[in-house]
A and B are shown apart, each in its own frame.
Chain A
Amino acid sequence: MDQIEQLVQSVLQGNRRSIAKTITLIENNEPEAQKIVSMLYPETGKTHVIGVTGPTGSGKSTLIEKLIRELRKRGKTVGVVAVDPTSPFTGGAFLGDRVRMQEHSTDEGVFIRSMANRNAPGGLAKATKDVIRVLDASGKDIVIVETVGAGQSEVEIVKVAHTIIVVLAPGLGDDIQAIKAGIMEIGDIFAVNKADRQNANKAISDIQAMLEMDTEKTGWKPSVLKTTALTGEGITELLAIIEEHKEYLKMGALEANRKENVETELAEAIKQKIAESIIEDLKRKGEWEKLTQKILTRETDPYSAADMLLKKAKRN
């Protein structure tokens, strides 16, 4: 057995050090990463992935801490991937989500990993999807993914999570905010957290009104509930809705979503691999520079150049 096979076996057995090392290899896109992911792939698809998104400071991490606690009481093992932003200026990141979850750090049934988004758009890191796969293959019953503090358009989470909780807090905005496109469209569950504060009912009714406008929507009707993560209020109710949503997905939506996600992922993989190989090839032959020059002098344009390359590639 070579080193990679050993590592993969060890991940499948749930070895924590191996899980951590594997995540690093994938996150850094080391040469072994792709092989590892393809070896783990057949063992994935068993976990329920819960996405937790919402604005900065709405209480996502604290809510997750309470979810972990309740899930552990029920004997479920939990993986957490907590994404925080990378500075676009220095490339550094301060990953502070797990501060709220440290109570679970020594629990063998919980594995928490912080990820910097490394400037990927959409609220997740590029490698988050594959990191979820590592935790899935390692046997975690539930994987919770916390996005970066998401304002409006950070909706990558829909591609990786089965159930999405949008965590909001009273006083963040009125019904005009609730009607905007983006994260308000992706929630399966809306948790109005910090519900002990003033105006929680107003926030609930704003969200409900927004959801009611969506008359076209068939299937799952998003739920809205109040939570106070700090005291744990509303957590059992939240888990009950998560369970309900999970059951709903089993009636067909899960397979449909999965197919859609696989198609997107395949299309992305093809684009990336083929584009990379063509570009590398051009650079090796010195044609990249020539093409660039032609475009610079406006002899041709990027689209025509790409068309020309495609025709050439098809002939070969």
Chain B
Amino acid sequence: MTTERKIRVLIAKPGLDSHDRGAKIVARALRDAGMEVIYTGLRQTPEQIVETALQEDVDVIGLSILSGAHTTLFPKIMEFLKNKGMDTVLVFAGGIIPQEDVPALKKIGIKEIFGPGTSTSVLVKFVQENTRKKIATGC
């Protein structure tokens, strides 16, 4: 039997918003690119998201947010990930995030922020390129 590695991605919806069309489109695109995509559902706390990422042992977390609470919730998520020794997990975000907030979010370790209108192929390529080494070596 041969080793079979898959990119595992958690798509998470932190905080209080109730629209997840975007998150589902992203999940679907990554699924169609051959990844195993876990979805948290709506209204997740940072603790829930990090704990889910831990149990599912994902390589990637995609955060989708429309509520404007990203400056409060994202730093918490990044902090919890660090505390659990999971800072090698690739984190990206999308949704309604003003351009002026982007530098601060990148500074805390969010690798990329994708705004509305991003093509899913850009996203798929981003995830594939940033996980290639990890998937090849298995760590």
A contacts, CB < 8 Å to B: 16-17, 19-21, 23-24, 28-31, 86-87, 90-96, 98-100, 102, 105-106, 111-114, 116, 118, 272, 276
B contacts, CB < 8 Å to A: 1-6, 8, 27-28, 30-41, 44-45, 47-48, 51-52, 54-57, 84-85, 138
A232 to B54, CA, bound (A): 28
Contact of B138 among A16, A30, A95, A102 (CB under 8 A): A30
Q: Are A17 and B85 in contact (CB under 8 A)?
A: yes
Q: Are A111 and B55 in contact (CB under 8 A)?
A: yes
Q: Are A31 and B3 in contact (CB under 8 A)?
A: yes
Q: Are A114 and B6 in contact (CB under 8 A)?
A: no
Contact A92 to B55, CB < 8 A, known contacts A28-B4, A29-B2, A105-B48: no
Contact A92 to B33, CB < 8 A, known contacts A16-B55, A30-B138: yes
A113 to B4, CA, bound (A): 18
Q: Is the interface of A mostly helix, strand, loop or mixed?
A: mixed
Contact of B55 among A90, A96, A112, A276 (CB under 8 A): A112
Q: Are A17 and B37 in contact (CB under 8 A)?
A: no
**Nearest Cβ on chain A to B41's Cβ, whole angstroms:** 4
Q: Are B3 and A94 in contact (CB under 8 A)?
A: no
Q: Which residue of A lies closest to B86 (CB)?
A: A17
**What are 16 sample pairs from A and B whose C-beta atoms fall under 8 A apart?**
A17-B84, A19-B55, A20-B56, A28-B4, A29-B1, A31-B3, A87-B31, A93-B31, A93-B35, A93-B37, A102-B40, A105-B52, A106-B48, A112-B55, A116-B6, A118-B4
Q: Which residue of B lies closest to A116 (CB)?
A: B36
Which B residues are in CB contact (< 8 Å) with A20?
A: 54-57
Which A residues are in CB contact (< 8 Å) with B31?
A: 87, 90, 92-94
Q: Are B47 and A106 in contact (CB under 8 A)?
A: yes
A230 to B101, CA, bound (A): 40
**Nearest Cβ on chain B to A275's Cβ, whole angstroms:** 11
A252 to B6, CA, bound (A): 41
Which A residues are in CB contact (< 8 Å) with B38?
A: 95-96, 98, 114
A100 to B42, CA, bound (A): 10
A149 to B41, CA, bound (A): 19
A24 to B7, CA, bound (A): 11
Q: Are B40 and A23 in contact (CB under 8 A)?
A: no
Shortest beta-carbon contacts, A-B, top 9: A99-B41, A92-B31, A20-B57, A91-B34, A95-B38, A24-B57, A92-B34, A93-B36, A105-B48
**Nearest Cβ on chain B to A49's Cβ, whole angstroms:** 18
